[in-house]
Amino acid sequence: MDDSLGHKKGLGFLFEKRSIASLIVFRIIFGLLALLSSLRFVQEGWIEVLFSHSFFFKYSGFAWVPVLSVDNLYTLFYLMIAASICITLGFAYRFAIAFFFLAFTYVDLMDASNYLNHHYLFSLLGFLLIFLPANRSFSLDAVLRPSIHREKMPSWCKYILLFQISIVYIFAGLAKINTDWLLHGMPLAVWLLEHQHLPLIGNYLAFQSTAVLFSWVGMLYDCTIVFFLLNNRTRPIAFLAVLLFHGMTAVFFNIGLFPLIMVSCSLLFFSDNFHLRLLHLFQGGTLLGASKKQKPTTYPITSNSAYSLKAVLPYFLSIYVLLQLILPIRHLAYTGDTQWTEEGYRFSWRVMLVEKSGMATFHAVNPSTGQKDEVNSARFLSDFQIKQMAIQPEFIHQFAQFLKTHYQEEYLWDSVEIYVDSHVALNGRVSRPLIDPKADLLKLNQPIIQQYAERKTPKIR
């Protein structure tokens, strides 16, 4: 085809007008999930559990993020609850969603040991929603200011969300293509074993073949579900599979809102008509009828702004898309197995992939006096942080830096060396040392991760 035609086709594809209904449904669901998530956090008392100790792990580049006091965090969460309600109702939408995104992301940035894939996804969706016209219909904003009301939106608004959801599935699926998962049924074998009391299937969960079967189904599901959801003919079946799959993960794993988020997001794959009907059902038809009447009159296209948006949008979208494609594969740039080293593990949709536990015992040494101390990590860290640190070299490194200052200030040591005796057990194996116990952690920029020899042989036992 002609080059310029292809160009036009590309642009047309992104800016083609389509019904705004799917975005509206998505906004309402997002608002409700945000509300549920914030309420749960407050109600379960997680603020105290997660944020009332003295040391916090940081994401690289975000070490400056301060930690609020527990009281202030409660205030923040109440504001987030209010923002969620505003998002759902489409009231002061742009402000509410921007606030929610910033607050939610801030809470997650405070302590890197709390990293959760579905929190990261929720942050990303919140970020995208800031730029989407999700309050232009079925919203208080549109009622109060009818001039902003729209029935249509450019297609990119839907495609960017579809893209985001698709890469979660596909990268989660690709990450499952490894010998532990596919050949040994690990770590599902461990996790399924815990549910033998379940009716009907409980008895089958102890078998090797069940774990391997579930592993394959999980991998195939993640790798392909997007394509079956995109296809008109297979969509109803695919959505049934979505419900079944996430229903089962909700039963088997302690993964909070993740199943709900993924099921809700899958609705985006449905046609615009479906969403229109959904809204119609929701509103009893009256508002939809009314807004349809308004449509011809209040539809002035401010061509200027639309034109400039068209100019910058491809760059913006492309950067976002590129980043989302590169982050999950950045582990290829590191040596070693990501499951063992944890380098490139986060932000990569490696969801429920390993069963890992470990122990890290720190020793502080003052080389000028010969003094030596075994560190009581529980003095500074929560049990959960200790558990996370034991398996993540990056955290071990951060804690060593903290200990240096601690021994300098509390014991007035003029020089400090920090060593760690660390052992990690992965997917049913016996433990192996994670970091060279003879290496002074303060002399390394990154801790040396010992070669995990066992990874070379596929056999677990």
Partner 1 sequence: MRKSLLLLFLLASKPVRSMPFGFAVLISMTLLVSCGESTSENPCSVEFDRISMYENLAENLIIPGFEDLVENIDQLQAKTDLFFAEGAGEAELLALRQAFKNTYLSWQAVEPYNFGPAETVFLRDLLNNFPLNIQAMEANVYSGNYNLNTPETYDKGLPALDYLLFGIADSDADIMALLKDQSQESNFFLYFNDVVASMYQASLQTLDAWQETYQAEFIDNDGTAAGSSLSLMVNALNEHFEFIKRDRIGIPTGALTLQIPNPNKVEAYFSGLSRDLLVASINSSENFYTGMGGAGLENYLSETKARKNEQLLSAVILQSYEDMRSPLANLESSLEVEIENNNEIVLQSYAASATQLVQLKTDMPSVLCISITYIDNPSDSD
Using the rule CB under 8 A, is 271 a contact of partner 1? no
Residue 199 vs 284, nearer CB to partner 1: 199
Candidates 5, 70, 144, 193; binder of partner 1 (CB under 8 A) is 193
Residue 93 vs 163, nearer CB to partner 1: 163
List the interface residues with partner 1, window 129-158 (CB under 8 A). Answer: none
Question: Residue 209 Cβ, how far from partner 1 at the closest point, in Å?
Answer: 8
Candidates 29, 129, 175, 255; binder of partner 1 (CB under 8 A) is 255
Residue 28 vs 351, nearer CB to partner 1: 351
Question: Residue 434 Cβ, how far from partner 1 at the closest point, in Å?
Answer: 11
- The stretch among 21-29, 41-49, 281-289, 333-341 that binds partner 1 (CB under 8 A) is 41-49
List the interface residues with partner 1, window 73-132 (CB under 8 A). Answer: 114, 116-118
List the interface residues with partner 1, window 199-228 (CB under 8 A). Answer: 206-208, 211-212, 216, 220, 223-224, 227-228
List the interface residues with partner 1, window 379-438 (CB under 8 A). Answer: 382-384, 386-387, 411, 421, 423-426, 428-431
Candidates 67, 103, 309, 321; binder of partner 1 (CB under 8 A) is 321
Residue 135 vs 166, nearer CB to partner 1: 166
b/e map of 119-140 (b: 16 or more CB within 10 Å)? bbbbbbbbbbbbbbbbbbbbbe
Using the rule CB under 8 A, is 233 a contact of partner 1? no
Distance CA 353, CA 88 (A): 33
Question: Residue 377 Cβ, how far from partner 1 at the closest point, in Å?
Answer: 11
